[in-house]
Amino acid sequence: MYPSLLIDALAQAFKDPGEYFGSGERNTEVKVCYNLLSCLGWDPITEIAINLQIPKVKLGEIAKTSHAVDDFALRDDAGMRLLGEVKHWYVCNSGWKDELDQIRRYQKAIPVERCFLTCGQRWAILDKQGEVIDDIKEKKNIH
Protein backbone atom coordinates (compact mmCIF):
# COMPACT_ATOMS: atom_id res chain seq x y z
CA MET A 1 0.00 0.00 0.00
CA TYR A 2 1.30 3.43 -0.88
CA PRO A 3 1.88 5.78 2.09
CA SER A 4 -0.75 8.28 0.94
CA LEU A 5 -3.38 5.52 0.62
CA LEU A 6 -2.46 4.22 4.07
CA ILE A 7 -2.80 7.68 5.57
CA ASP A 8 -6.24 8.04 4.00
CA ALA A 9 -7.30 4.61 5.30
CA LEU A 10 -6.00 5.39 8.80
CA ALA A 11 -7.73 8.76 8.78
CA GLN A 12 -11.03 6.98 8.14
CA ALA A 13 -10.31 4.44 10.89
CA PHE A 14 -9.34 7.18 13.37
CA LYS A 15 -12.79 8.76 12.85
CA ASP A 16 -14.49 5.59 14.09
CA PRO A 17 -11.92 3.52 16.02
CA GLY A 18 -14.57 1.38 17.73
CA GLU A 19 -15.63 0.14 14.30
CA TYR A 20 -12.15 -0.48 12.91
CA PHE A 21 -9.90 -1.24 15.89
CA GLY A 22 -12.22 -2.64 18.57
CA SER A 23 -10.67 -3.49 21.92
CA GLY A 24 -8.11 -6.09 20.81
CA GLU A 25 -4.43 -5.44 20.26
CA ARG A 26 -4.25 -7.39 17.00
CA ASN A 27 -6.15 -4.76 15.01
CA THR A 28 -3.79 -2.02 16.16
CA GLU A 29 -0.76 -4.25 15.51
CA VAL A 30 -1.74 -4.99 11.92
CA LYS A 31 -3.80 -2.04 10.77
CA VAL A 32 -1.60 0.67 12.29
CA CYS A 33 1.85 -0.56 13.29
CA TYR A 34 2.66 -3.18 10.66
CA ASN A 35 1.46 -0.98 7.82
CA LEU A 36 3.18 2.10 9.21
CA LEU A 37 6.51 0.30 9.72
CA SER A 38 6.31 -1.01 6.16
CA CYS A 39 5.59 2.48 4.80
CA LEU A 40 8.57 3.82 6.77
CA GLY A 41 10.80 1.47 4.79
CA TRP A 42 11.15 -1.57 7.03
CA ASP A 43 10.99 -4.69 4.85
CA PRO A 44 8.01 -6.74 6.04
CA ILE A 45 9.70 -10.03 5.15
CA THR A 46 13.32 -9.62 6.19
CA GLU A 47 13.32 -6.81 8.77
CA ILE A 48 10.05 -6.99 10.73
CA ALA A 49 9.74 -9.85 13.21
CA ILE A 50 6.28 -10.27 14.68
CA ASN A 51 5.60 -11.84 18.09
CA LEU A 52 9.24 -12.41 18.95
CA GLN A 53 9.50 -14.96 21.74
CA ILE A 54 11.84 -14.03 24.58
CA PRO A 55 12.92 -16.93 26.82
CA LYS A 56 11.86 -16.59 30.45
CA VAL A 57 15.45 -16.94 31.62
CA LYS A 58 16.29 -13.62 29.93
CA LEU A 59 13.47 -11.84 31.74
CA GLY A 60 14.29 -12.93 35.28
CA GLU A 61 11.94 -13.81 38.12
CA ILE A 62 9.15 -11.51 36.99
CA ALA A 63 8.29 -13.65 33.95
CA LYS A 64 5.10 -15.62 34.48
CA THR A 65 5.33 -17.80 31.36
CA SER A 66 8.09 -19.73 29.64
CA HIS A 67 8.28 -17.12 26.90
CA ALA A 68 7.30 -13.50 26.72
CA VAL A 69 6.21 -12.16 23.39
CA ASP A 70 7.28 -8.79 22.11
CA ASP A 71 4.97 -7.58 19.34
CA PHE A 72 7.62 -6.18 17.01
CA ALA A 73 11.36 -6.55 16.62
CA LEU A 74 13.01 -4.69 13.77
CA ARG A 75 16.38 -5.70 12.48
CA ASP A 76 18.67 -4.92 9.60
CA ASP A 77 22.04 -6.22 8.39
CA ALA A 78 23.72 -4.79 11.52
CA GLY A 79 21.39 -6.65 13.90
CA MET A 80 18.43 -5.91 16.16
CA ARG A 81 17.48 -2.22 16.07
CA LEU A 82 14.08 -1.65 17.64
CA LEU A 83 11.52 -3.41 19.84
CA GLY A 84 7.88 -2.45 19.90
CA GLU A 85 5.00 -3.27 22.20
CA VAL A 86 1.44 -2.65 21.03
CA LYS A 87 -1.63 -2.25 23.21
CA HIS A 88 -5.25 -1.93 22.18
CA TRP A 89 -6.57 1.41 20.98
CA TYR A 90 -8.19 2.49 24.25
CA VAL A 91 -5.13 2.03 26.50
CA CYS A 92 -3.77 5.46 25.53
CA ASN A 93 -5.47 7.28 28.40
CA SER A 94 -3.79 5.24 31.12
CA GLY A 95 -0.57 6.29 32.81
CA TRP A 96 1.21 3.47 30.92
CA LYS A 97 3.30 2.54 33.98
CA ASP A 98 2.78 -1.23 33.63
CA GLU A 99 3.09 -1.06 29.85
CA LEU A 100 6.34 0.91 30.03
CA ASP A 101 7.70 -1.55 32.61
CA GLN A 102 6.87 -4.37 30.20
CA ILE A 103 8.75 -2.91 27.22
CA ARG A 104 11.68 -2.05 29.50
CA ARG A 105 11.90 -5.72 30.57
CA TYR A 106 11.99 -6.72 26.92
CA GLN A 107 14.67 -4.14 26.21
CA LYS A 108 16.75 -5.44 29.10
CA ALA A 109 16.47 -8.99 27.71
CA ILE A 110 17.27 -7.86 24.16
CA PRO A 111 19.36 -4.67 24.26
CA VAL A 112 18.47 -2.24 21.47
CA GLU A 113 18.98 1.48 20.89
CA ARG A 114 15.26 2.31 20.85
CA CYS A 115 11.88 0.85 21.79
CA PHE A 116 8.35 1.99 21.25
CA LEU A 117 5.08 1.48 23.06
CA THR A 118 1.90 2.33 21.19
CA CYS A 119 -1.84 1.96 21.09
CA GLY A 120 -2.00 3.52 17.63
CA GLN A 121 -2.99 7.00 18.69
CA ARG A 122 -0.19 7.45 21.20
CA TRP A 123 3.46 6.47 20.88
CA ALA A 124 6.15 6.47 23.58
CA ILE A 125 9.71 6.26 22.26
CA LEU A 126 12.34 4.98 24.69
CA ASP A 127 16.11 5.38 24.52
CA LYS A 128 18.79 2.75 25.15
CA GLN A 129 18.38 3.12 28.93
CA GLY A 130 14.60 2.71 28.77
CA GLU A 131 13.84 6.38 29.40
CA VAL A 132 10.94 7.95 27.51
CA ILE A 133 12.42 10.47 25.10
CA ASP A 134 9.17 11.31 23.33
CA ASP A 135 5.48 10.76 24.07
CA ILE A 136 3.48 11.48 20.94
CA LYS A 137 -0.27 11.75 21.18
CA GLU A 138 -2.74 11.74 18.30
CA LYS A 139 -2.98 14.94 16.36
CA LYS A 140 -6.62 15.91 15.82
CA ASN A 141 -5.90 16.82 12.19
CA ILE A 142 -3.75 14.16 10.57
CA HIS A 143 -4.02 15.65 7.06
Distances in Å between the Cα of 52 and the Cα atoms of 74, 82, 92 are 10, 12, 23
- For the entire predicted model, the pTM comes to 0.82
Nearest Cα to Cα of residue 9 among 38, 116, 17, 86: 17
pLDDT tens digits, 68-104: 677 999 999 989 999 999 998 888 766 788 899 989 9
Distances in Å between the Cα of 117 and the Cα atoms of 1, 19, 41, 61, 92 are 24, 23, 19, 23, 10
Percent above pLDDT 70 for the chain: 86
What letter represents residue 76's amino acid? D
Helices (H) then strands (E): counts for the chain = 6, 6
pLDDT tens digits, 19-43: 888 778 888 898 888 988 988 899 9
Q: For domain 3-137, which architecture applies? A: Alpha-Beta Complex (3.90)
pLDDT tens digits, 91-142: 876 678 889 998 999 999 889 999 999 988 889 999 999 999 998 875 544 4
